[in-house]
Structures are given as structure tokens and as C-alpha cells.
Amino acid sequence: MKSKNILIVENKEQDRKLMEYLIGQVHTFQSFDQGTVALSQLANQNPDLILISLQLLDIEPILFLQKVRALGNHSCRVVGLISSTEEQQIPYFRELGFEELIVKPVRPKEFIPKIQSLLAQPEKTGAKDGEKPSSLPILNPEIYEQLLRLSSKEVIFQVFLDFAEECKNLLQLLERSSAIETSEEITRAIHTLKGNSGTLGLDKLYVAAKHSESLGKQEKSIEFAESLHYLKAAIKEFQEFLRTEQSLNNV
């Protein structure tokens, strides 16, 4: 009996068709080649599990994950589909909130048992004390409260505005550079952003910057370029968070 509903979000047709064939034998599924289209249909699908490629072109997978969680369906498991060249980044993606990572191209004998195992796990009902959050927060409330003990809310907000300018400068630097360039200037800028984001309690930015800095120092150009997608996504989320002063007032 096909009792579970699975959402496949994969822009590479060959990979998508293979997963459709395998999953279709045991479960119902909906399949999309664009993350934005999948999100627009998500409320009507009520999936038990989402398989999403980490190489989507139309939306950052991290933003997709955040929007899924924002809908409040905590029982839905979100699994990243990662290429074999990105396997070393699996711990990073787990830290960002993906509950499992599956390497592409999928292996039929391993793929379905993995899916069945994920679906058989106890259903989640939301965050509980001691449970790992589905994703890191933009602003750590404990550190924000510590900052408020040192200065006024207006001063702290200005500090965040100054940091937003630093983020903007880094984005501009990245736009001017080669897609896989790991220059000392870029690595140094990311290092500075990492330190400041850690001081300000911007946890998601800190983790993304730390990961990019590490790959940059190791001169792993391809992995470094991939990590920049998630650093940029974290910066954009912070910028959105900071658009109104009310964001900080609600922390």
C-alpha cells in the first residue's frame, strides 16, 4: 500500500526520473524540477518526506529548507541530494538542518531501504527540549541579551547595521571575483565576517563563514565555490531579518 507521500525536487532530469521510478513502486510522489514551483505547491501536498537537490538553480536549498519549516510541518523530513564530489560537506549540511544526505547518482539497492528507514522513524511533533533544531537561528537570543547589558538597543542596532554594510561589501567582492577564486583578499574578508558574526551571535552566518574560510584556506576551489552559495544565502537572510528594527524588538 502506497501510504506515504514523497516530494522530489531535482533539476537534473536523469536523476529525477530514476528516483521517480524507484519511489513510484512503493509510495506516491510529486516531482518538480524547480524549488520555487515545489514551494508554491507545498501547502497542498502535505508530504511525509522531501528529497531536494543541493544543486538547484532557481533557489538556494537552505532557503527552501527554511521556508518548509516556516510552514510548520515539523513531521516532514527534508533530505538533501548531494553529488559524490560534495560528500566531505555532509557534516556542514547536517549542521544547517538537513536530516539526511543521499549521494547521487542514487543506488537502487540502497536508495529505497534508506527511504523506508527514514519514513519508519518516529514522527516528529516539533521542537523539544534538548532536540537539535531544524536549522540554526539567524540571531542567538542569549548573545543578543548579553549585548543589551553592555549598551542600549539603539546602539546595538547600529552595530548590526554596520555589520550589514560589511556583508554587502563581501557580496560585492564575490561578484567581482571568479566563481571559483580563493584569493587571499576573499579569504581574509570571510575570516573577518566570521569573527564579527560570532561576536554578534549571528550563528547561521558564523557557521557558513567558518565553512567557506576553511575550504578557502585549503584551496579547494570547487568546494569553496559551492560553499559560497550558502554563505550568500545566510547573508541575504540576515539582511531580510534586519530590514526593520522590529525584528530585533521581537527577539
Residue 130 predicted with pLDDT over 90: no
Q: How far apart are CA 204 and CA 94, in angstroms?
A: 13
- Which residue has 543541493 as its cell numbers? 54
In order, the DSSP letters of 186-245 are HHHHHHHHHHHHHHHT-HHHHHHHHHHHHHHHTT-HHHHHHHHHHHHHHHHHHHHHTSST
Closest CA to 42 of 77, 3, 68: 68
Q: How far apart are CA 161 and CA 236, in angstroms?
A: 14
Neighbours of 97 (CB within 10 A): 19
Closest CA to 192 of 224, 170, 211: 170
Q: How far apart are CA 200 and CA 219, in angstroms?
A: 28
Closest CA to 32 of 64, 10, 58: 10
Specify the range with the lowest mean pLDDT, choosing from 44-53, 91-100, 223-232. Answer: 91-100
**Is the model's pTM score more than 0.75?**
no
Q: pLDDT exceeding 70 applies to what percent of the chain?
A: 86
Read off φ and ψ for residue 65, nearest 5 degrees: -60, -45
Specify the range with the lowest mean pLDDT, choosing from 47-61, 65-79, 101-115, 194-208. Answer: 65-79
- How many helices and strands in the chain, by DSSP H and E? 11, 5
- The residues, any chain, with a CB within 8 Å of residue 69's CB and separated by 6 or more, are 97, 134, 135
- The residues, any chain, with a CB within 8 Å of residue 150's CB and separated by 6 or more, are none
**pLDDT of amino acid 129:** 36
**pLDDT of amino acid 128:** 40
Q: How far apart are CA 45 and CA 51, in angstroms?
A: 14
- C-alpha cell recorded at residue 113: 531501504
Instruction: Give the residue, 164 or 182, on which the prediction is more confident.
Output: 164
Q: How far apart are CA 197 and CA 217, in angstroms?
A: 19
Q: pLDDT exceeding 90 applies to what percent of the chain?
A: 32
Q: How far apart are CA 82 and CA 34, in angstroms?
A: 16
Sign for the pseudo-dihedral over CA of 78, 82, 88, 89: negative
